[in-house]
């Protein structure tokens, strides 16, 4: 799985790149369907934006966040993307039991079907 970190209107330092990659790789470590992820960091005046786009087989998930600190934006967007990915994989999980259900037991009592009706 490849993780690409890029920046718009901001030079991405090595520490920001490592911080974002470590956060995302911890979230995606056991998700085998994901093939690539892209993290885009953006700066407009004093607002810091972080955007994460995750691609996989039949999977495109995006999340973004805005704050006044880049690390806070990264933390917030990682929380959002983690919730979306967990929700996706929970829905895709097979909830059926393995094997077939046992047939209900049949009672061989001939009086079991006798009903006493009371008329009023």
The pLDDT of residue 67 is 95
Higher pLDDT, 102 or 2: 2
Question: Radius of gyration (Cα) for the chain, nearest Å?
Answer: 26
pLDDT in tens, 52-73: 999 988 889 999 999 999 999 9
Domains along the chain?
2-92 (3.30.160.100)
- What percentage of the chain has pLDDT greater than the value 90? 59
Higher pLDDT, 113 or 71: 71
37: Cβ contacts below 8 Å, ≥ 6 apart: 1, 2, 3, 4, 24, 28, 52, 53, 54, 55
pLDDT in tens, 89-103: 888 766 666 665 666
The pLDDT of residue 107 is 60
Q: Which two tokens stand for residue 91?
A: 């829905």
| Ranges 16-30, 84-98, 102-116: which has the least confidence | 102-116
The pLDDT of residue 57 is 87
- Residue by residue, DSSP assigns 46-79 as TEEEEEEEEEETTEEEEEEEEESSHHHHHHHHHH
Residue 120's SS3 state is coil
């Amino acid at each position: 799985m490849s993780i690409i970190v890029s920046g718009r209107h901001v030079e991405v330092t090595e520490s920001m790149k490592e911080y974002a990659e470590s956060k995302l790789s911890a979230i995606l470590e056991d998700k085998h369907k994901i093939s690539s992820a892209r993290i885009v960091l953006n700066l407009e005046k004093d607002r810091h934006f972080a955007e994460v786009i995750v691609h996989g087989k039949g999977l495109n998930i995006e999340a973004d966040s805005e704050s006044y600190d880049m690390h806070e934006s990264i933390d917030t967007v990682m929380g959002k993307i983690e919730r979306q990915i967990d929700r996706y994989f929970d829905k895709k999980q097979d909830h059926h039991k393995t094997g077939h259900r046992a047939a209900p037991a049949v009672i061989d009592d001939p009086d079991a079907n006798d009903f006493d009706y009371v008329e009023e």
